[in-house]
């Protein structure tokens, strides 16, 4: 590969992008990234990915403006080619977002436009402290963040702050970006990669089906109405709950003995203890989450899920019946079919509106 280099460290890969001198993202680089994504999706031994920049002071500065300008030089050709190109770029970032393994952007320099949009498709954005810029300045150039920025940034930091970033075309120093919520952590430059690798290796120890299911539930469900998001969560829970991987979670690499779920820094809440695979708390009490075998726990979860499904089905049927009766009421029909006076409609009573 010309633009990306790959370094394998245990079950984690580091993808480094180099396009000197400015490290602009370009079409051939995007094609290489798509190839890497395909390999990673098929590699069951790979458990984590880190994307970083290979030029000092540059993560991915932004997508090449020269490449975009060359495409826009012929409006007819641009109208024909650009929609397909943008769709392909969106699909590539969607594949990163839904990659069934964690993806970390280790931002080690300028990260704007398409470079920041790439980082938005990652699960985490870790940034080195330093004199460089992070943001979406496309409005200054007369375009918009067309690589997913208008959709992903509001979901990350909220609509108001995202509009502030994008309408003004703002860029921020790393610490300012952290305060805005645009990056997860800002770290000393010399510790960035070791910290990112530490996160990736920790996540690599988690059962991979659990990681993939959580990502799908969050990314596909969080922006839907609550009932629909909960439906996705139930579907994912059903797929991972009663599986051999869950039952034998203690045998996952790095998880020998007891698998501990943490709340806070390092305080166990519920643990799956071997042998016998029984659920217990560190502090036994009358309010224990569950005590019994994993099989019994699966049966309880199935019963709870069935009860929840029944309640949702009854609620949906009730809502449908209510809407049908509402639309069928004589008053509703009268309101729905009443026409405004001709003076308001502006059609002179003909039913047709003419242009002034």
Residue 128, beta-bridge partner list: 187
Q: How does residue 3 score in pLDDT terms, banded at 50, 70 and 90?
A: very high
CA dihedral 39, 40, 45, 50 (to 10 degrees): 140
Mean pLDDT across the stretch 186-191? 98
pLDDT digits (tens, 9 = 90+) for 43-52: 999 999 999 9
Q: Which residues contact 14 (CB under 8 A, 6 or more apart)?
A: 6, 7, 49, 50, 52, 193, 197
- Tokens encoding 13: 């890969």
Higher pLDDT, 350 or 223: 223
pLDDT category at 259 given cuts 50, 70, 90 is very low
Distance CA 70, CA 72 (A): 5
The Cα 253–Cα 256 span in angstroms is: 7
Q: Is the C-alpha dihedral spanning 332, 338, 343, 348 positive or negative?
A: positive
Share of the chain above pLDDT 70, in %: 68
pLDDT tens across 24-78, in order?
Answer: 999 999 999 999 999 999 999 999 999 999 999 999 999 999 999 999 999 998 9
Average pLDDT of the chain to the nearest whole number? 81
- For residue 267, what are its two tokens? 């305080």
Catalytic position from the list 45, 56, 84, 138: 138
pLDDT band at residue 241 using 50, 70 and 90 as cut-offs: confident
- Identify the pLDDT of residue 319: 60
pLDDT category of residue 326 using cuts at 50, 70 and 90: low
Inter-CA distances, 177 with 116, 170, 173, 197, 253, Å: 11, 10, 6, 22, 36
Question: Which ranges of the chain does DSSP label H, i.e. alpha helix?
Answer: 27-42, 65-72, 75-97, 114-120, 149-157, 159-168, 174-180, 192-204, 208-221, 226-241, 244-247, 294-328, 330-337, 342-345
Please state, in angstroms and as integers, the Cα–Cα distance from residue 255 to each residue in 67, 130, 252, 258, following that order: 48, 37, 5, 7
| Catalytic-role residue among 117, 178, 233, 236 | 117
Does residue 277 contact residue 244 with C-beta atoms inside 8 Å?
A: no
User: Active site includes 117?
Assistant: yes
Please answer whether residues 178 and 185 qualify as being in contact, where contact means their C-beta atoms are separated by less than 8 angstroms. Answer: yes
- Identify the pLDDT of residue 311: 56
pLDDT for residue 295 is more than 90: no
Specify the range with the lowest mean pLDDT, choosing from 179-188, 281-290, 323-332.
281-290
Retrieve residue 114's tokens. Answer: 């398409």
Residue labelled with tokens 């920041």: 116
At 301, the pLDDT band (50, 70, 90 cuts) reads low
> Whose structure tokens read 């985490």?
124
Confidence (pLDDT) at 156: 97
Which range is least confidently modeled, 109-113, 252-256, 269-273, 325-329?
269-273
CATH code of the domain made up of 4-203: 3.90.226.10
User: Does the active-site annotation cover 291?
Assistant: no
């Amino acid at each position: 590969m010309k633009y990306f280099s790959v370094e394998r460290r245990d079950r984690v890969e580091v993808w480094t992008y180099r396009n000197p001198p400015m490290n602009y993202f370009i079409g051939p680089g995007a094609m290489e990234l798509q190839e890497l994504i395909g390999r990673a999706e098929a590699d069951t031994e790979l458990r984590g990915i880190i994307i970083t920049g290979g030029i000092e002071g540059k993560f991915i500065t932004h997508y090449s403006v020269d490449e975009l300008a060359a495409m826009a030089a012929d409006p007819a050709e641009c109208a024909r080619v650009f929609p397909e190109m943008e769709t392909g770029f969106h699909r590539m970032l969607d594949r990163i977002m839904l990659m069934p393994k964690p993806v970390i952007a280790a931002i080690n320099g300028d990260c704007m436009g398409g470079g920041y949009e790439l980082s938005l498709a990652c699960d985490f954005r870790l940034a080195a402290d330093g004199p460089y810029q992070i943001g979406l300045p496309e409005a200054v150039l007369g375009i918009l963040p067309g690589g997913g920025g208008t959709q992903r940034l509001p979901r990350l930091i909220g609509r108001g702050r995202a509009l502030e970033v994008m309408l003004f075309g703002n860029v921020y120093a790393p610490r300012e970006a952290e305060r805005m919520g645009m990056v997860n952590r800002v770290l000393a430059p010399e510790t960035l990669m070791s910290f990112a690798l530490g996160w990736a290796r920790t996540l690599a120890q988690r059962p991979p089906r659990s990681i993939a299911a959580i990502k799908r539930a969050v990314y596909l469900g969080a922006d839907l109405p609550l009932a629909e998001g909960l439906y996705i969560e139930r579907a994912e829970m059903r797929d991972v709950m009663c599986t051999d991987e869950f039952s034998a979670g203690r045998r996952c690499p790095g998880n020998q003995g007891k698998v501990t779920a943490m709340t806070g820094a390092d305080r166990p809440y519920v643990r799956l203890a071997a042998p016998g695979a029984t659920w217990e708390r560190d502090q036994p009490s009358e309010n224990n989450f569950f005590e019994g075998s994993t099989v019994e726990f699966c049966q309880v979860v199935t019963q709870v899920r069935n009860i929840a499904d029944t309640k949702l089905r009854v609620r949906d049927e009730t809502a449908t019946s209510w809407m049908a009766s509402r639309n069928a009421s004589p008053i509703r029909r009268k309101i729905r079919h009443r026409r405004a006076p001709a003076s308001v409609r502006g059609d002179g009573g003909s039913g047709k509106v003419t242009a002034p």
